[in-house]
Amino acid sequence: MTRALFIVDVQNDFTEGGALGVAGGDAVAAGITAHLTEHAGEYAVIVASRDWHDADSDNGGHIALEGPPDFVDTWPVHCVAGTTGAEYDPGLDTSAVTVHVKKGQGKPAYSLYEGATDDGETVAALLAAHGVTEVDVTGIATDHCVRASALDAIEHGIHVRVLTGLVAGVAPEASDAALAELAHAGAELVGAA
């Protein structure tokens, strides 16, 4: 069995003080760093994703430029390419990350699978090339991009473990519902180690 680690959107705009900051985001960044210190060698591939939205664009209707966002399909400006908000949270040590993926470039994108490397390689192709059959999922936000990434991995026939101590969500109820949905879809919910 070959295992990969997904680090989903641990970015300044999604941690405390960011445009869409979630409670516990900084702790997730620090927790993933600690997890990598102990377990990086257990992964054939470590994939970190970032929202990387185009500036001065609604990114396919994802960013609310006219009127208030509905926080379902439209969002405040966040994770604009090249800005501090789009960078990784400083508590996340990315030195062990083997692949960096950008998503949401001009269009809505929640799943890490919707992103690509700077060379244009998709996550699905990358995982297939490494023979990945299992993925541990961490990151932000449990009820949005973590959920979408884990569901896509399951759809691609990969066994998914969500490391529940290394995720943070927007809302407790929605996050609990997302974890229940993932478990129902076949994901294993486990502690950080």
Catalytic residue set: 9, 103, 145
Q: With contact defined as beta carbons under 8 Å apart, do 25 and 90 qualify? A: no
Amino acid at 68: P
List all residues 6 or more positions away from 65 whose beta carbon is below 8 Å from its beta carbon: 58, 77
Residue bearing tokens 């998709």: 122
Q: What region, left, alpha or beta, does residue 59 occupy, with left being phi > 0 and alpha being psi -120 to 50 degrees?
A: left
Alpha-carbon span 144 to 29, nearest angstrom: 17
